[in-house]
């Protein structure tokens, strides 16, 4: 164990796109756990679009990260020292460990032991079995409520969440249509993930492509992007259709509030519903979701892809990849 903790702080609030200079790294001594606390060595850090929101000083579902604070982030790692009866050195855990080598944490619902003996890499607990998979699971099934035979459209279909959403849609007997940013990703989501159709939103006209691939209209649209794609999907929503708002990555770096979707009035015309959610709403059902996802994974029904970037120091540049569409699947930093 090194005696130093490298940690990355929020140095400036980004205006528009995140810049490397919005972060600052410092090295401090590793803290000791107090009574009831555990010391965890963070092994892997999850990078998520939601982090952009946490960097902005605006009321939201959780407080923003303060300037000078360690940047917030989900991690998996190993307990080095425990002063809590439920944990012992060597336990593998999931935590909100932040962008740093070590974290001292109280078990508070966000620190939990990982199940043992699963034939999957530990990083899966940050991706398909972690927040990412649960977001796809509850967002699609609870908010989107797809029924067999319906058409489900997914934006960022090759992304961490979207890649799982499409596969769950297929498991549930739906037609799955995905939008992504390159022909290679289009091929991947069709051939590997089982999407029925893929749209390259950078080269194709979105509305005609949706009309072509959704000949019966759109019953569920799972939105991670906002903007033009959301508007096009609303334009083709079916009677009693559902739009699950999971994110709006096209909007996060905007410096002024972009207009909303002008087709929102189709909600009226089609008696349709647009509903936002955050995965934290489902904390009390996380076990149900993780067990179902794990079962599908073991049965070979669920595939996932991770891109693992080496070294905590590279996190500030790696996170930009979420916003310029250059990653596929789940983006993770090996600390």
- Which residue's CB is nearer to a copy of itself, number 27 or number 60? 60
CA torsion sign, 283 to 286 to 288 to 289? positive
CB of 33: closest distance to a copy of itself in angstroms? 34
Q: How far is the CB of 274 from a copy of itself (least distance, A)?
A: 5
Residue of 115, 70, 72, 113 whose CA lies nearest to 94: 113
Question: Residue 221 or 296: which CB sits closer to a copy of itself?
Answer: 221
Beta bridge partners of 28: 5
Give the residue with the Cβ less far from a copy of itself, 200 or 253: 253
Find, among 70, 130, 61, 153, the residue nearest to 105 by Cα. 70
Smallest distance from a copy of itself to CB 255, Å? 13
Is 329 in a helix, a strand, or coil? strand
Q: Which CB, 194 or 217, lies closer to a copy of itself?
A: 217
Q: Is the Cβ of residue 80 or residue 277 nearer to a copy of itself in the bound state? A: 277
Measured from the CB atom, is 29 or 257 closer to a copy of itself? 257
As measured in angstroms, the least distance from the Cβ of 329 to a copy of itself is 22
Cβ closer to a copy of itself: 16 or 34?
16
Distance CA 223, CA 292 (A): 23
Cα–Cα distance between 240 and 272 in angstroms, integer? 4
Angle between helices 131-138 and 286-298 (to 10 degrees): 100
Which residues sit at the interface with a copy of itself, rule CB under 8 A? 59-61, 226, 231, 245-248, 251, 257-278, 281
The whole-angstrom separation of Cα 335 and Cα 308 is: 10
Closest C-alpha among 199, 198, 221, 194 to residue 296: 194
Query: Could you give the count of Cα atoms lying within 13 Å of 28 in the half-sphere of its Cβ?
Result: 13
Beta carbons within 8 Å of 63's beta carbon, 6+ residues apart: none
What is the smallest separation between the CB atom of 239 and a copy of itself, expressed in angstroms?
Answer: 8
Q: What is the Cα–Cα distance from 119 to 248, expressed in whole angstroms?
A: 34
Smallest distance from a copy of itself to CB 35, Å: 34
DSSP-derived 3-state class of residue 185:
helix
CB 243 to a copy of itself: min, Å:
9
Task: Report, in Å, the least distance between residue 257 CB and a copy of itself.
Answer: 4
Secondary structure E strands in 83-168: 92-95, 102-105, 112-113, 151-154
**What's the rounded Cα separation, in Å, for the pair 59 and 260?**
19
């Amino acid at each position: 164990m090194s005696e130093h903790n490298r940690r990355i702080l929020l140095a400036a609030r980004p205006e528009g796109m995140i810049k490397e200079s919005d972060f600052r790294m410092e090295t401090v001594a590793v803290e000791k756990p107090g009574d009831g606390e555990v010391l965890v060595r963070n092994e892997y850090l999850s990078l998520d679009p939601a982090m952009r929101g946490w960097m902005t000083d605006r009321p939201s579902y959780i407080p923003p990260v303060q300037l000078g604070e360690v940047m917030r982030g989900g991690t998996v790692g190993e307990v080095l020292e425990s002063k809590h009866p439920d944990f012992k050195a060597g336990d593998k855990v999931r935590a909100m460990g932040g962008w740093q080598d070590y974290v001292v944490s109280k078990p508070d619902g966000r620190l939990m032991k990982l199940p043992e003996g699963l034939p999957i890499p530990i990083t899966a607990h940050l991706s398909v079995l972690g927040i990412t998979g649960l977001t796809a699971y509850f967002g699609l099934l609870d908010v989107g409520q797809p029924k067999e035979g319906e058409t489900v459209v997914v934006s960022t279909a090759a992304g961490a969440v979207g890649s799982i959403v499409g596969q769950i849609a297929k498991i549930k007997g739906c037609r799955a249509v995905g939008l992504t940013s390159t022909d290679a990703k289009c091929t991947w989501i069709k051939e590997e993930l089982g999407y029925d159709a893929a749209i390259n939103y950078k080269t194709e006209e979105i509305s005609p492509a949706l009309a072509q691939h959704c000949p019966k209209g759109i019953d569920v649209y799972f939105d991670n992007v906002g903007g033009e794609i959301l508007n096009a999907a609303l334009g083709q929503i079916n009677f009693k259709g559902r739009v699950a708002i999971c994110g709006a990555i096209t909007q996060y770096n905007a410096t002024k509030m972009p207009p909303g979707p002008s087709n929102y009035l189709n909600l009226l015309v089609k008696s349709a519903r647009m509903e936002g959610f955050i995965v934290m709403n489902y904390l009390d059902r996380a076990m149900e979701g993780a067990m179902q996802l794990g079962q599908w994974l073991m049965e070979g029904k669920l595939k996932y892809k991770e891109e693992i970037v080496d070294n905590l120091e590279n996190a500030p540049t790696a996170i930009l990849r979420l916003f310029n569409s250059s990653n596929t699947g789940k983006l993770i930093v090996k600390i």
